[in-house]
Amino acid sequence: MALLRVENLTHFFGGLRAVHSYSLSIDPGQIRGLIGPNGAGKTTIFNLITGRYKPTQGEVYLDNAPITGLSLHQIAAQGLGRTFQNLRLWRHMTVLEHVKLARYSKLSYGIVGAFLGTPKRVRQEAESDRRAMDLLELTGVRRYAEQIVTNLPYGAQRRVELARALALEPKVLLLDEPTAGMNPEELVQMLQIIRHVHAQLGLAIFLIEHRMKVVMDLCQIVQTLNFGEVIAEGTPERIRSDPRVIEAYLGQEVVT
């Protein structure tokens, strides 16, 4: 049974058809990839699934419940965690605060608890602290916990974003180019961490990538997107040798 199911998603930006009848189904524990040249509509698909844009047509189901049309924070609270292509961290906050904040929807102490510091709040905040620290340990940035996030090296900032998305306790994790802008060393570390997180938490992961190496390493099934349409779907090996994919990436071979 599919954990995340997308059916016939279509989206227009004005007259431009950015995504055309896109479908997807991710099973529990699966790692799926989405590749495609620049401007193919990969990030748009992420934004449609997570509720940032309302799709012109189509439905999204998380754990068999329809989530199309819900607002961004509601979808996030239902268990869809994401990271961003360009880091979106909060520049005045510490690493620990980042991860704790993603537990916003898990807290039930309400306004009264926030104002008066009730025992319930103390208990829930302590629980949040503990879980956040575990996630920082898991992603290998625990030693930065009390630091302001902008003081961290780039690779560590990426990992903080991952830890933050994990604090949502997501059923499906969406990673938007998790290795963008990384040097080879950071890249290898990131791959290890994603694999480690996947093994530890047994999440379903859906990732957008540019680098073939990452997709080949991580994904079981890969989709290739071009001009908003899926042109090929299959195992990484098959995708790599698929002529349509090669054409989309490298252009058509002209034989004279």
Partner 1 sequence: MGVLTEWTRSGGQGLRRALARGWAPYARVPMLGWLFGALLAVLLERFLGTPIARGLGMPGIPALFGFDLVLKQPLLLPSAIAYVLLIYALPTALVARLGSSLANRAAARLLSYPLVISAILHLALLYGVLHTWSGVNDYRLLVVRLSLIAVMVTLSLNVVNGYMGEFSCSHPGFMALGAYTTSVITVVLFVSDNQFGEAVLPPVLGPLIFPLSLILGGAVASLGALLVAIPSFRTRGDYLAIISLAFMFIVKSLFENLEVVGGARGLGNQPNYAGLPTVFLWTVLCIWIVNNFVRSTLGKALNAVRDGELAAEAMSVDTRRTKFVAFLFAAFWAGIAGALFAHVIRYINPDTFGVRKLAEVLAMVYLGGLNSVSGSILGAVGFNVLSEALRPLEILKWIIIPILLILVMVFRPTGLVAFREFDPAQMLKPRDNLAEEMSDGLAAS
Subset of residues 110 to 139 that bind partner 1, contact rule: CB under 8 A: 111, 113-117, 121, 125, 128
Closest to 159 measured CA to CA, from 200, 206, 99: 99
Read off the DSSP letter of residue 102.
Answer: T
Which is closer to partner 1, CB of 74 or CB of 220? Answer: 74
**Position among 18, 164, 239, 248 found at the interface with partner 1 (CB under 8 A):** 164
Q: What is the closest distance, in whole angstroms, from the C-beta atom of residue 140 to partner 1 in the complex?
A: 20
Residue 223 dihedral angles phi and psi, to the nearest 5°: -110, 145
Which is closer to partner 1, CB of 77 or CB of 231? Answer: 77
Residues touching partner 1, count (CB under 8 A)? 37
CA distance readout (Å), 130 to 34, 95, 127, 136, 150: 34, 14, 5, 10, 23
Q: What is the closest distance, in whole angstroms, from the C-beta atom of residue 167 to partner 1 in the complex?
A: 8
Q: Does 168 bind partner 1 (CB under 8 A)?
A: yes
Instruction: Return the structure tokens found at 189.
Output: 């570390």
Q: Does 69 bind partner 1 (CB under 8 A)?
A: no
Decide if 224 contacts 217 (C-beta within 8 A): no
CA distance readout (Å), 40 to 18, 54, 206: 8, 18, 17
Q: Does 154 bind partner 1 (CB under 8 A)?
A: no
Closest to 76 measured CA to CA, from 198, 165, 2: 165
Give contact residues for partner 1 (rule: CB under 8 A).
50, 52, 71-73, 76-77, 82, 84, 88-93, 97, 100-105, 107, 109, 111, 113-117, 121, 125, 128, 164-165, 167-168
